């Protein structure tokens, strides 16, 4: 199973929301999220909430309100479980692996960004000197 996870070339991004109007500052009810996420039933959303730590809607007066990042997470879970035929455990492992790989890549990305900033500053200094 772990080999399957490492060989899959999927990326979890906000692109899965293309064509869907999901705003950052808005909160969505469980019914709205259900319709935004391929009509995933509310009881399935509640189950996924108990299984995935990265899915955490805001609770007010015993009601769940989802933010944009929750909608992205739900669509990613749906894609893994229903379209790619992962089990819930396999999807959890996939998210864990993605998180670990992002942690490994973060220092390299930061170093690359710092190098780019220095190169741009050097260009800026040359242009100002002319």
Q: pLDDT, tens digit, for every residue of 45-83?
A: 999 999 999 999 999 999 999 999 999 999 999 999 999
Residue 84's nearest CA partner among 1, 6, 10 is 10
The DSSP symbol for 28 reads: B
Enumerate the domain spans of the chain.
Answer: 2-101
Residue 75's nearest CA partner among 129, 127, 17 is 17
The mean of the pLDDT values for the chain is 82
Instruction: Report the percent of the chain where pLDDT is more than 90.
Output: 48
Q: If you classify domain 2-101 with CATH, what class do you get?
A: mainly alpha
Average of per-residue pLDDT across 25-54: 93
The pTM for the full model equals 0.65
73 Cβ partners below 8 Å, 6+ apart? 52, 54, 55
Instruction: Report the percent of the chain where pLDDT is more than 70.
Output: 82
């Amino acid at each position: 199973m772990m080999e399957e996870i490492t060989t899959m070339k999927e990326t979890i991004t906000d692109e899965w929301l293309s064509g869907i109007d999901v705003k950052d500052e808005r909160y969505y009810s469980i019914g709205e999220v259900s319709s935004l996420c391929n009509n995933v039933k509310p009881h399935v959303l509640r189950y996924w909430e108990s299984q995935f730590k990265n899915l955490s809607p805001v609770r007010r007066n015993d009601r769940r309100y989802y933010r944009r990042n929750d909608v992205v997470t739900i669509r990613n879970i749906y894609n893994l479980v229903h379209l790619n035929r992962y089990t819930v455990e396999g999807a959890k492992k996939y998210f864990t692996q993605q998180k670990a790989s992002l942690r490994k890549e973060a220092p390299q990305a930061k170093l690359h960004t710092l190098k780019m900033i220095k190169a741009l500053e050097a260009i800026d200094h040359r242009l100002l000197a002319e």
